[in-house]
Amino acid sequence: MVHTTEDYYDFDENENISGNFSYEDYQTVCQKDDVRAFAQIFLPVMYGLCLVVGIAGNVLVVGVYAYSKRLKTLTDVFVVHLAVADLLLLLTLPFWATAAMQGWELGAFLCKLVTAMYTINFTCSMLLLACISLDRYLAITPELREKNLGKIFRRNHAVKLCLAVWTIALLLGIPDLVLSTVKTFSERKVCMAVYPSDMAFQTKISMEVLEVLLSFLVPLMVMLYCYAHVVRTLLKLPPENRGKRWRAIRVLLAVVLAFVLTQLPYNVVKFCRVLDVAHALVTHCGVSKALDRAAQITETFALFHCCLNPVLYVFIGLSFRQRVLKVAKSFGQRRRSRQRREDQGVEISFNTHSNSQHTSTFSI
């Protein structure tokens, strides 16, 4: 995670760079009280909005699929795991909102746990988007269904595929779990990863680049390739299917556009900060502050993808709408049935008391 509330590089006047570092650079000459003041207002508001909207949508997805007790396709399995990953990611936001307002006062254990949860679930969410793209691509490519990739992406391999995705995400979260701790800067506690001085640069840069690859570039390349092939296939459909064809294409374009608009700015800023770590490119205080604000804003919009996923991958789908209607109909039938039983019980009880002087043993 790019710790947008407060990040630090610890520069020593007698040395080039010390082992503990982050993104509040040049702290001996660059005061960033205005950056922190912006974060104290902006981040809690935006995180709160993400939390409310995202939890409502993803809980509905998990609830509907859990009620139906049946995942018909591999994409259904991926969508449920995507909703769970997004929910777990969203549940870390209250901790970061609190840290933005008053610093990290929750101790080292929660610092490690929350930071690792953020990285794991963010990475898992992005990789699951790539898996959904591959499954849709294979669904319309009969010649690949019996080959190696097609044999792997089958409903009976759903558990193994999801386990592989979660394992990759967990491995990427191990450094945060091990290295995250609470440091004090300018009388303010910060939850951050502290790397040993002998491996700080190499490890930090490697982890940041790996996160950019797995959380953005790989899913983006997979989505572009798969959905471009899907669009070409849809364009070959006969004219009588033109309406359905263009609706499907618009959905795919919305999926790709939402991913690019929410994730590209965040990863560009993240990569710029990686370059700054490696080459100390930022030497002006104003540029450093602008980069901090850009990180805060772009990471927040990247999190909005958790709110968009239920809409892009579930709600606009006909099968899910049918599931929602089926669940609503089932609830309605149960409620009407319960109401009829209650009415019948009241009527029986009333008649019993009217026709007999003895106390009725009937129980509603």
Residue of higher predicted confidence among 289 and 9: 289
pLDDT of residue 83: 93
Q: Of the spans 118-127, 140-149, 228-237, which averages the highest pLDDT? A: 118-127
| Residue 264: CA count within 13 A, CB half-sphere | 8
Which tokens sit at 59?
A: 């809980």
Dihedral in degrees, nearest 10, Cα atoms 327, 332, 333, 335: 120
The answer to whether position 271 is within a domain reads: yes
The answer to whether position 120 is within a domain reads: yes
Paired residues of 191 in beta bridges: 182
When mean pLDDT is compared across 192-201, 219-228, 251-260, 328-337, the lowest value belongs to 328-337
pLDDT of residue 356: 43
pLDDT band at 170 (very low <50, low <70, confident <90, very high): very high
- Per-residue pLDDT tens over the stretch 107-133: 999 999 999 999 999 999 999 999 999
Radius of gyration of the chain (CA): 26
pLDDT of residue 331: 67
Q: What percent of the chain has pLDDT over 90?
A: 36
Paired residues of 180 in beta bridges: 193
pLDDT band at 200 (very low <50, low <70, confident <90, very high): low
Closest CA to 112 of 97, 92, 127, 98: 92
Taking the alpha carbons of 28, 177, 280, 294 in that order, is the dihedral positive or negative?
negative
Mean per-residue pLDDT, 323-345: 66
pLDDT of residue 318: 57
- Per-residue pLDDT tens over the stretch 258-299: 999 999 999 999 988 888 877 777 778 888 888 889 999 999
Mean per-residue pLDDT, 31-55: 91
> CA angle, corner 138, sides to 132 and 140, nearest 5?
110
pLDDT band at 340 (very low <50, low <70, confident <90, very high): low
Mean per-residue pLDDT, 174-187: 88
Which tokens sit at 303?
A: 């999190």
pLDDT of residue 1: 58
Which tokens sit at 89?
A: 């990611």
Mean per-residue pLDDT, 67-90: 87
Which tokens sit at 62?
A: 């998990």
**Model-level pTM greater than 0.85?**
no
The answer to whether position 73 is within a domain reads: yes
The answer to whether position 20 is within a domain reads: no
pLDDT band at 139 (very low <50, low <70, confident <90, very high): confident
Mean per-residue pLDDT, 83-89: 95
pLDDT of residue 274: 84
The answer to whether position 235 is within a domain reads: yes
Mean pLDDT, all residues of the chain: 79
The answer to whether position 61 is within a domain reads: yes
pLDDT of residue 337: 66
Number of domains in the chain: 1
CB 208 within 8 A of CB 270: yes
> CA angle, corner 281, sides to 190 and 202, nearest 5?
65
Q: Of the spans 22-36, 136-150, 189-203, which averages the highest pLDDT? A: 189-203
| Cα–Cα dist 209/175, whole Å | 14
Domain region containing 167: 33-339
The answer to whether position 350 is within a domain reads: no
Mean per-residue pLDDT, 312-321: 68
The answer to whether position 137 is within a domain reads: yes
Residue of higher predicted confidence among 299 and 357: 299
The CATH code of the domain that includes 99 is 1.20.1070.10
